[in-house]
Amino acid sequence: MKEEITRFAPSPTGHLHLGGARTALFSWLFARNKNGKFLLRFEDTDRERSKKEYEESILSSLSWLGIEPDENPIFQSNNKELHQELAFSLMEQGKAYSCDCSSEQLRKMREDQIKNKLQPRYDGFNRDMNLPHKEGNVIRFKMPQSGKTLFEDKILGNISVENKELDDFIILRGDGNPTYNFCAAIDDLNMNITTVIRGDDHITNTLKQINIFKSLEAKIPNYAHLPMVLSKSGKRLSKRDGAIDISDYRKSGYLKETLINYLVKLGWSYSDQEIFSKDELINLFSLESVNSSPAKFSEELINFYNNHYLNSLNIETIYKLIEEEYELSFDIKSNEHYLEILKLLREGAKTVLDLIDQIRFFYETPEYEDKSKELINLDIDTIKSFALCIKDLDFKNLQNLESDIKDYLTSNNLKFPQLGKPLRMILSGRENAPSISQLLFFLGEQESCRRINLFLNN
């Protein structure tokens, strides 16, 4: 069987966003599942909007996610001469033609069509004029005028259009620059792409590109269009709904494992399994099991995955990530229990940034809100008496410390919250923090005493 070759073809006019990353992931998984190849092509023909910085950022996001192309990226702009040659060759073969319709003429054509309730399109004025090509003229592709263009989408099923609905689109602009639909089809052909996977906003482009393949008598690749990702309320996904760039997710403390699992769930599922390793995904992935209706973005789900991976990854991995990717205002290693502290607090953390914020009080003296101060002051005598006995607790061992505190409560006839609540607030500045014995133990005797005295003396 022929080797499957897929590609991801971003335009480097922005960073890699959620939708783009999903397309890349599905193409990559499909290729891996088929033991085929996954290629990357930068569609950088828009010289004004394409930026090196975006190429680099897309590459870095893909590499962070582990979606690596099997060959060096292709730059579409390098193929410009070939695109131009082929446009002229189609014209010589009578499959395309030179057109000198002015923008004024086109505007009028459009207005008349709208007035007559017709679909606005180029009406073929120059199609049979055989105009000699000259600078400033565009080259238009001769679309078949009867019959249908159809293909079997690997996700959406049969898609067809009456050819009379399609117009003679421009393949080479007046300034000599080839257009997207022409370049994409030629490059897919030259890269031997067997399956094109992209968003369903490209369906009309596919219908045009199929006709380019036909005119070149080339084998038409398979196409699979991914339904779009909608916001929770069913609208087009905007930045506010979570359509942020992959680099932003990374910066705000989402793990790559989370993003892979989450992205794949935006349209693909396997029974009711929620968590997949990359190898499992490679084994299980198929285009047939991609949902043909739009996926919905869910902040709860992405946070669920992130909390899951924060808690299931090796704690050393989490520590290294914090050390390598985030700037901290404290020295995490200054507390010898830093790994245990991370383990303890990751349970409730949503993101790495959240985790960093959660552990902060172990390193920096907490600040107290007025409400907390009032609450602590209700039990201030309990705290004062406890401060006098703190030196008798065994700080060397967590279990011993725990039982010493229990004994202290029993012998002083105290219920746990009477001491626990104010003490937790003094030590951490928060109401929800780990247990008292864990707080005392990880802060150590000296720091615990310092914080209690600081509070009492203020």
- Footprint of ligand GLU on this chain (CB under 6 A)? 9-11, 43, 184, 198, 202
Q: Which of 337, 261, 272 is nearest to 303 (CA)?
A: 261
- CB–CB of 22/210 below 8 Å? no
Q: How is residue 244 written in tokens?
A: 């942020």
Q: How far is the CB of 225 from ligand GLU (least distance, A)?
A: 10
Q: How far is the CB of 361 from ligand GLU (least distance, A)?
A: 45
Nearer to ligand GLU, 46 or 445 (CB): 46
Q: Which residues contact 129 (CB under 8 A, 6 or more apart)?
A: 97
Nearer to ligand GLU, 10 or 422 (CB): 10
Q: How far is the CB of 196 from ligand GLU (least distance, A)?
A: 6
Nearer to ligand GLU, 69 or 422 (CB): 69
Q: How far is the CB of 228 from ligand GLU (least distance, A)?
A: 12
- CB–CB of 88/171 below 8 Å? no
- CB–CB of 224/155 below 8 Å? yes
- CB–CB of 15/57 below 8 Å? yes
Nearer to ligand GLU, 69 or 253 (CB): 69
Nearer to ligand GLU, 19 or 434 (CB): 19
Nearer to ligand GLU, 221 or 434 (CB): 221
Q: Which residues contact 321 (CB under 8 A, 6 or more apart)?
A: 255, 352
Q: How far is the CB of 184 from ligand GLU (least distance, A)?
A: 5
Nearer to ligand GLU, 48 or 104 (CB): 48
Give me the torsion for CA of 344, 348, 354, 356, rounded to 10°: 0
Nearer to ligand GLU, 208 or 451 (CB): 208
Nearer to ligand GLU, 43 or 379 (CB): 43
Q: How far is the CB of 149 from ligand GLU (least distance, A)?
A: 17
Q: How far is the CB of 439 from ligand GLU (least distance, A)?
A: 51
Q: How far is the CB of 292 from ligand GLU (least distance, A)?
A: 19
Residue whose entry in the numeric block shows the structure tokens 């626990």: 420
- CB–CB of 216/189 below 8 Å? yes
Count CB neighbours of 111 within 10 A. Answer: 11
Q: How far is the CB of 4 from ligand GLU (least distance, A)?
A: 16
